[in-house]
Amino acid sequence: MSKKTFVTKELIEEIVKKYPTPFHIYDEKGIRENAQAVKEAFAWNEGFKEYFAVKATPTPYLIQILREYGCGCDCSSMTELMLSKAIGVTGADIMFSSNDTPAEEYEYAAKLGAIINLDDITHIEFLEETIGKLPETMSCRYNPGGVFVMSNGIMDNPGDSKYGFTTEQMFEGFRILKAKGVKNFGIHAFLASNTVTNEYYPILAKQLFEIAVQLEKETGADIKFINLSGGVGIPYQPDQEENDIREIGEGVRKVYEEVLVPAGMGDIALYTEMGRFMMGPYGALVTQAIHEKHTHKEFIGVDACAVNLMRPAMYGSYHHITVLGKEEEACDYKYDITGSLCENNDKFAIDRMLPKIDMGDYIVIHDTGAHGYAMGYNYNGKLRSAELLLKEDGNAELIRRAETPKDYFATFDGLDIYSKLEEEF
């Protein structure tokens, strides 16, 4: 099976006249249509808000598109908070979900008026010592432990996770926070990653709704919102069926009416933090075949490497590959698609059946819109690529330039690197 790309060989041939490969490119039309679908899927909940996970794609131009659909920002670090502020996102439009958090980051989040989502019960005292009086609105991250299982066999292991309060700590934490003057409470949980099933959110929601009822009853806390976080995945494999966000929203609605409404808690707002689902399918890494190697295996070397897309090297993750202009040709050649890093795991695909690849062919690596560019790094002195936005009118706009050697050397304060390499810049 194959996946369709949102770019063509002819389009890429035009783009590379101005912006050389490799680069990440994003599909504005797809991003907008998906953001509208998410908004409609949860429109039944008056307080619904999607807090886009900035960590997934920390690119202001793209986040500003999502802002047009009412999205806020889910931040987990100082620079993500700063980026959000820079594009006009402050106050309750920021959810600060962090762990092992430095004091200065809590200080800055509080200064912006962000909703602070605590990861651990010990952070209550730490936060109070850091900022003084606690905010009136606070959230706690819940980890029930054990394993998380669904009917289709997808599972994760919250008991091994470093995140969140235990069940007992949630009750104790809410009592402590209430005694310290917190008036509005939230619950947050992330129990499984990249689920490609419409079951995940409704099952998670039921767990959170049930504990919310118990918490409000036993602690007297006024729970204002429940954050389902992320975990709604995308079909990286071409034979996977994609999630139906409208069916997911309807499944959550049924559980909401089953659990919260009879308990008199039918005014609770729902939040989500779907970085991967919001952006993942609408980005691609475009690279060019520049070498071929015939040894113990058949290798195709491209001008991108793991610094442009870490997931295959780090996790062994599958990303579908299209050879532009050869979409209809038989996939009867077996290749490893490799980058140039001094690491043998620098491979985008291993033993992948593809059409015959010729030098100069442009290759699209799918589903890099989330956790693609964001996970880039500079090993071997490699530089991060440009990011482009394919506008709805068909034109490509540069939204982040490629790094240069000058960027790489810029942090060597006290060394006169520039003058020694002046002719190189």
Nearest to 313 by CA among 344, 335, 351, 292: 344
Nearest to 54 by CA among 279, 349, 357, 309: 279
Q: Is residue 415 situated within a structural domain?
A: no
Pull the structure tokens for residue 338. 């490799």
CATH code (residue 358): 2.40.37.10
Q: Are 22 and 302 in contact (CB under 8 A)?
A: yes
CA 328/CA 334 separation, integer angstroms: 17
Q: Are residues 13 and 42 in the same domain?
A: no
Q: Are residues 236 and 306 in the same domain?
A: no
Residue type, 315: Y
Q: Are 174 and 212 in contact (CB under 8 A)?
A: no
Q: Is residue 419 situated within a structural domain?
A: no
Q: Are residues 156 and 206 in the same domain?
A: yes
Domain boundary among 245, 280, 315: 280
Q: Tell me, what's the pLDDT at 152?
A: 63
Q: Tell me, what's the pLDDT at 154?
A: 58
CA 79/CA 61 separation, integer angstroms: 16
Q: Is residue 237 situated within a structural domain?
A: yes
- For residue 202, say if its preceding peptide bond is cis, omega within 30 degrees of 0: no
CA 328/CA 53 separation, integer angstroms: 36
74: helix, coil or strand?
strand
Q: Are residues 322 and 391 in the same domain?
A: yes
Strand pairing class (298-302; 283-294) = antiparallel
Q: Is residue 396 situated within a structural domain?
A: yes
Q: Are residues 181 and 275 in the same domain?
A: yes
State the CB neighbour count (10 A cutoff) for residue 220: 10
Domain boundary among 246, 280, 314: 280
Q: Are residues 98 and 156 in the same domain?
A: yes
Ramachandran quadrant class, 411 (left: phi over 0; alpha: psi -120 to 50; beta: rest): alpha
Strand pairing class (155-156; 115-118) = unpaired
Q: Are residues 134 and 244 in the same domain?
A: yes
CA 99/CA 88 separation, integer angstroms: 24
CATH code (residue 93): 3.20.20.10
pLDDT per residue as tens, the chain (425 positions): 689 999 999 999 999 999 999 999 999 999 999 999 999 999 999 999 999 999 999 999 999 999 999 999 999 999 999 999 999 999 999 999 999 999 999 999 999 999 999 999 999 999 999 999 999 999 999 999 888 777 666 567 777 888 999 999 999 999 999 999 999 999 999 988 899 999 999 999 999 999 999 999 999 999 999 999 999 999 999 999 999 999 999 999 999 999 999 999 999 999 999 999 999 999 999 999 999 999 999 999 999 999 999 999 999 999 999 999 999 999 999 999 999 999 999 999 999 999 999 999 999 999 999 999 999 999 999 999 999 999 999 999 999 999 998 888 888 876 777 667 766 65
Q: Tell me, what's the pLDDT at 282?
A: 98
CA 91/CA 127 separation, integer angstroms: 18
* Backbone Cα Rg of the chain: 23
> Quick one: which H or E segment has residue 350?
strand 347-354
Q: Which domain holds residue 168?
A: 28-280
Q: Are residues 273 and 296 in the same domain?
A: no
Q: Are residues 215 and 307 in the same domain?
A: no
User: Where are the alpha helices (H) located in 44-102, listed in sequence order?
Assistant: 60-67, 78-86
CA 159/CA 137 separation, integer angstroms: 28
Q: Are residues 252 and 290 in the same domain?
A: no
User: Where are the alpha helices (H) located in 113-166, listed in sequence order?
Assistant: 122-131
Q: Is residue 276 situated within a structural domain?
A: yes
Q: Are residues 270 and 300 in the same domain?
A: no
Q: Evaluate if pTM is beyond 0.85.
A: yes
CA 187/CA 207 separation, integer angstroms: 11
Structurally, the chain folds into a number of domains equal to 2
Q: Is residue 193 situated within a structural domain?
A: yes
CA 68/CA 70 separation, integer angstroms: 6
Q: Are residues 19 and 36 in the same domain?
A: no
